[in-house]
Chains A and B, each alone.
Chain A
């Protein structure tokens, strides 16, 4: 009789404590990509930090921070192809920025201005960015998982080399839509990569209250998918694991559920040893790609960019009252015309 393990398998990890990797894994990312990933992780963290402040000041209503999860988010996004779909959950600002969403567009979203792509209708976050196939998702738990599977399934039907990446926290594995989505993924062999960010906690509830199973990756098995645990603070491992999942999906071998184990952060952020940003920086240093001067320059640039974007969005006009009635339907029906009143 086969018995299930009593503890989950060790997560895949490549980065050593000193920032080095085995020679075999060094080729996972080029110098250029390594630097770009780090810069986006730093940018994401800076935006996060500033938005948490703005939320506390009451300037914006909400912000879902990705502190400690930057490698899992930016690394996974970078592993996909440019024309692949990304279905974020609430914390994937970094994925949208990686895909080219301008920082200022995100700031307009956070402030709900007239220039928000979503026209100030959805409280922050997550953002969407149509030009780069970053989908519009709701903040509801897990509902985007079947959407990602459906988009991937459509790509399979169309015989296009397109896959879908979907993010969610471990709390979403308790939702019906996690089951619906992954069950359909297994049946249809849709080319989907599902990344579950597991920091051990959903708001105030520990992972042990979400599942009786040993970890989350193992849930893939019953759906006919592949399950992988990865150190979500190890950008080299995330990139490698998601790339492999993407390649398998595109080859018709089915989807993968990736459990990215990420450090839990409270206020001050993760400890240096588990901090994905610090670990990535140490990796750049071991490759001779980074030093204190570059760090200083990046910090100054990021600070200036973030402040400029926030200043613009904070000063921007809010949407006009009449815009509320647009986009409910493609054309304004009689009852909404009545409720809107005469156009001014």
Chain B
């Protein structure tokens, strides 16, 4: 066990897998010598060289498009999109090509890759360095979507994602890249995809969260406890396919659910989660399911802390849901 932050844990995971599997190729903007703008790939170029850690032209569509060709050939690309706000030029390649290759080829030409990209706000990044586009990918058949909340899960989920047969969007919550620290096992281990973690059991309200917002949910739950409300906090970890059993089991126990996410409220992943809860646990519900989300506005620079669903916005919703 070593104390690491998320940047170090993901770096350790990449290095581990590149040593283990010569097919793994890291490519992206500035990922080579400089180690990425967040230094997640630092030192990999020194160890693995130009052919396996590649500074690419500044073109997300080109990065994902060529990575698909590499994957068809038999390599295992792990491209980095520098900010998830920059992923839209690659959207066609991800949605029309990557996600559909296995299906349209009758299973003969799967294109396996893990697309890593920093996600979310709270770092004074403004409109174009803060977005949370996860639901745009959850909606697309054929993709898996992962978002870790701590160093242990980040490394374990990354290794599981690289070894999973399907393409994975791996969203790294950049606000807690360095703020989240913890024990990380050395060497090999995986955190399975599709398994949520109940990080705090509680009997009154289920709070579903992931990534950086998990810590806001925890802070709100700490406050709620002072009001006599015990939250059960579920870190989804894999957003899609979501761990429906854990979610429903928790809601059946508490009868109340609050979803927290940074992305805009309308058609955000919370909408799907609540629809699933209604379909599968309606008769257990004691209160209307609630959402605490980013607003349906673009992401603001100066007012980012007003935009984010921070603990002070979560708390009253949790209390109202508990007392409904």
Contacts and interface: CB of A to CB of B under 8 A. Distances in A.
Interface string A249-291: 0000000000000000000000000000000000000000000
A122 interface: yes
A180 B102 contact: no
Contact of B109 (A136, A140, A143, A187): A136
Given A154-B69, A177-B65, A130 B105 contact: yes
Interface stretch (A55-63, A236-244, A328-336): A328-336
Given A146-B66, A150-B67, A329-B142, A184 B56 contact: yes
A148 B103 contact: no
Interface size class of A (residues with CB under 8 A): 35 or more
Contact of A138 (B72, B97, B194): B97
Contacts of A116: 106
A121 B70 contact: no
A130 B244 CA distance: 36
Given A136-B109, A177-B65, A330-B110, A150 B70 contact: yes
A263 to B, nearest CB: 31
A153 interface: yes
Contact of A149 (B25, B66, B100, B101): B66
A19 interface: no
Contacts, number: 144
Nearest to A333: B241
Given A128-B108, A138-B97, A154-B75, A327 B103 contact: yes
A187 B57 contact: yes
A150 B73 contact: yes
Interface size class of B (residues with CB under 8 A): 35 or more
B65 A136 contact: no
Interface string A136-173: 10101001011111111111011000101000000000
B69 A153 contact: yes
A117 B101 CA distance: 13
Interface string B162-173: 001110000000
B323 interface: no
A155 B72 CA distance: 11
Contacts of A180: 59, 61-62, 65-66
B172 to A, nearest CB: 23
B91 to A, nearest CB: 11
Interface of B: 25, 51-52, 56-57, 59, 61-62, 64-75, 89, 92-93, 96-97, 100-110, 141-142, 144, 164-166, 194, 241, 244
